[in-house]
Structure 1
Amino acid sequence: MGFPDRRAIRTVASALVVAAFAWCGTAMAMASDGTPSSTPPHAAATSAAPPRPSSTVDARPGLPAFHGPTRPPAPGPGLPGAAMLTRPQPPGPHGSTGRMRLGGPAHSATGTGTSAVALTFDDGPDPAQTPKLLDLLAKYHVKATFCLVGQNVAAHPELVRRIAAEGHTLCNHTWRHSLTLGRQPAAAIRADLQRTNDAIRRAAPGASIRFMRAPGGNFTPTFVSVAADLGMASIYWSVDPRDWYHPAGEGDAAHRARVQHAVQRHTGHGAIVLSHDYAQPDTIAAYRSLIPWLKSRYQLVAL
């Protein structure tokens, strides 16, 4: 068998060189658009947007029946397995900035994202206890977050106005504290949250409502997604002193001591502390000691 003609070899080699230059030019043109040549044009746009949560109910075991018999995640920046918000939350006038830590059910927030600690109070406003708590917070120049139940807002709008006027953060805690709202269709969840927001804004026109807390911490992906569509981030907690729980035989002094001990033991940098102002006089009494103790160790902020 004879050797190939040299002229034919040169012709083939020239063709290969021309093809290589053409391929490089195409690759460079694609790179100039910011899209790697090996990446389909739509891939970058697709990866930039986080996937929306599914509409299924969060099947995580051990979700609390009311603020939870299970121990919450450890507080602070080192929450195990906690995700971070994909974009920074806008800072409030007295709130923490940066990225909140998402370690709760359905990626609800369990940390402030900074070294600051956030005190949150649920289920109010309460005509007897909320004014006492507001007086206490004002005494120590501390701002907190109030998770408000719509029915109580409608009954006591003057307290909502005071909460807002004194610089505290307002949080939607649903209309009637239904523990199963997160399992309802998205339209029902939206109607409930919107009704509560409307009541808050009637009480305090122009009020900013940037947070939602599910009753009992029973977040679902649908719950969190609907809240986000309404402009609200979902907040869980990292410290739960179970101040709402009054076991048989526990006196007032013992209850206050238990709440104080739990908050002091479990609070760390970046914690979100759960407590209640609604129908919990012992909680207010416990915070008379807790607030100066916390303030001496942490920066206390409203979310």
Structure 2
Amino acid sequence: MGLTREGYRIAVPGADGGSPGTVETYERCGLERPVARLVALARQATDGFAVVLDSANGIMEAPLAAVGVPVLRADPRSLTDGRVTAEALAELGHARRDSLTALPSGGWTMSGREDEVAVAEADSGPVERRLARRGLLVNGGVGAAPLVALTFDDGPHPRYTPQVLDVLARFDAPATFFCIGLHALAHPAVVRRIVAEGHALGNHSWSHAHLPDLGPIGLGDQLGFTADTLAHACGGTRPPRWLRPPYGGRSPELLDAVADLGLTTVLWDVEARDWERPGAEVIAERVLSRVRPGSVVLLHDGGGDRSRTVAALPAVITGLRERGYRIAGLEELLAAQLAAEV
């Protein structure tokens, strides 16, 4: 399973394991069509079947796991700078299966590499502080001003993002939407509505990639494709300045590279873990019990069923205001954080 600037490519090895027997392209569409095709291929297989992804494709493993299709991850040692074709992944699955990692059901893209990820994030602390002083990184919970920013990841989604926007409009609350480029490509009208209603856009990579795994070319593609797609959806306006690395995955080298591209990295301090799909009351309680001045709240409008997030949002907004917080955009929050540093 590979990715292009236009969508998804599925390659299936030929009977002799040589060149792919079939290569199929799915352009400017949501996940439903390629996932349905992979499910059909899995059902047709008579001698075992698995989908090979790399860590630059984090949007596929959850829907595939949900329908019982096995997923194997190819790591950087087997790849070249994150520029991975469907054909190359199919060849890896046939010829070098022992170099791949089977993702557990209910796991995540980086399962088995948690220690490595934690070390890189811990090493990033000094760079984060340096960039924060320059206004090139936002880390929630900084400053004394009673401001809170609401952020939503993994959209746009044709069903749930409009529902989130309806709630935000009803309560006159601003937010930032960190969009996956492939989703924005499939649903540009939703992107236009986000901007038309006064909210901000952020870059969340092309395919929910673990960005520290990528070299300069792969990183440029992931962020550049997304920036271009968001700008095009909005009529050629300036690409968003905000970047949220998927999973919060970061390293010192990545943070500096992102800053060199003129992007401001946005992390968070309040995570509702709404992707677990608890009840709306639990989602609201997780936010309200952890919030503090300067918090950045992480919620999701895409990546799965977000009906419970939508249901929780009115209680989140009213609860924040009852506690004396004002919901602000990232620009205002960052300005307050920089002022607190002076």
- Indicate whether 1:260 and 2:284 are aligned: yes
Among all aligned residue pairs of Structure 1 and Structure 2, give the percentage whose two residues are the same amino acid. 35
Q: Which amino acid aligns with 1:149?
A: I
Q: Which amino acid aligns with 1:202?
A: H
- Indicate whether 1:301 and 2:332 are aligned: no
- 1:143 match: secondary structure: coil
Sort the Cα spacing of 1:284 and 1:207 in 2 relative to 1 into closer, same or farther, 3 A.
farther
What do residues 237-273 of structure 1 show as CA deviations (whole Å, max 9, x unaligned)? 1001100014xxxxxxx52121111101001110000
What is the rounded CA distance, in whole Å, between the counterparts of 2:149 and 2:177 in structure 1? 11
Q: Give the C-alpha shift of residue 208 in structure 1.
A: 4.4
TM-score, normalised with respect to structure 1: 0.62
What is the rounded CA distance, in whole Å, between the counterparts of 1:267 and 1:66 in structure 2? 28
Q: Give the C-alpha shift of residue 295 in structure 1.
A: 2.5
Structure 1 gap ranges (5+)? 1-63, 70-81, 90-99, 102-108, 247-253
2:134 to 72, 87, 95: 87
- 2:174 match: secondary structure: coil
Q: Which amino acid aligns with 2:310?
A: I
* Conserved 8 A contact 1:190-1:226: no
What is the rounded CA distance, in whole Å, between the counterparts of 1:156 and 1:201 in structure 2? 13
- Indicate whether 1:127 and 2:158 are aligned: yes
Q: Give the C-alpha shift of residue 193 in structure 1.
A: 0.3
What is the rounded CA distance, in whole Å, between the counterparts of 2:255 and 2:262 in structure 1? 11
- Indicate whether 1:190 and 2:220 are aligned: yes
Q: Which has the larger share of helix? A: 2
* Conserved 8 A contact 1:118-1:301: yes
Higher relative contact order (CA 8 A, sep 6+): 1
The 10-residue stretch of structure 1 (184-193 or 258-267) with the greater mean CA deviation from structure 2: 184-193
Q: Give the C-alpha shift of residue 88 in structure 1.
A: 4.1
- 1:161 match: secondary structure: helix
- 1:273 match: secondary structure: strand
The aligned residue for residue 224 of structure 1 is 255
Q: Which amino acid aligns with 1:255?
A: G
Q: Which amino acid aligns with 2:162?
A: P
* Conserved 8 A contact 1:186-1:222: no
Structure with the greater alpha carbon radius of gyration: 1
What do residues 153-177 of structure 1 show as CA deviations (whole Å, max 9, x unaligned)? 0000011111111111111000011
What do residues 152-204 of structure 1 show as CA deviations (whole Å, max 9, x unaligned)? 0000001111111111111100001123x321112211221001000000101
What is the rounded CA distance, in whole Å, between the counterparts of 2:142 and 2:240 in structure 1? 17
What is the rounded CA distance, in whole Å, between the counterparts of 2:109 and 2:202 in structure 1? 18
Q: Give the C-alpha shift of residue 111 in structure 1.
A: 4.0
Q: Give the C-alpha shift of residue 221 in structure 1.
A: 2.3
What do residues 263-298 of structure 1 show as CA deviations (whole Å, max 9, x unaligned)? 010011100000001131100101122111113321
What is the rounded CA distance, in whole Å, between the counterparts of 2:213 and 2:252 in structure 1? 10
Q: Which has the larger share of strand? A: 2
What is the rounded CA distance, in whole Å, between the counterparts of 2:142 and 2:202 in structure 1? 15
The aligned residue for residue 317 of structure 2 is 291
RMSD: 2.9
Number of aligned positions between the proteins: 207
What is the rounded CA distance, in whole Å, between the counterparts of 1:87 and 1:115 in structure 2? 22
The aligned residue for residue 117 of structure 1 is 148
Sort the Cα spacing of 1:169 and 1:233 in 2 relative to 1 into closer, same or farther, 3 A.
same
TM-score, normalised with respect to structure 2: 0.55
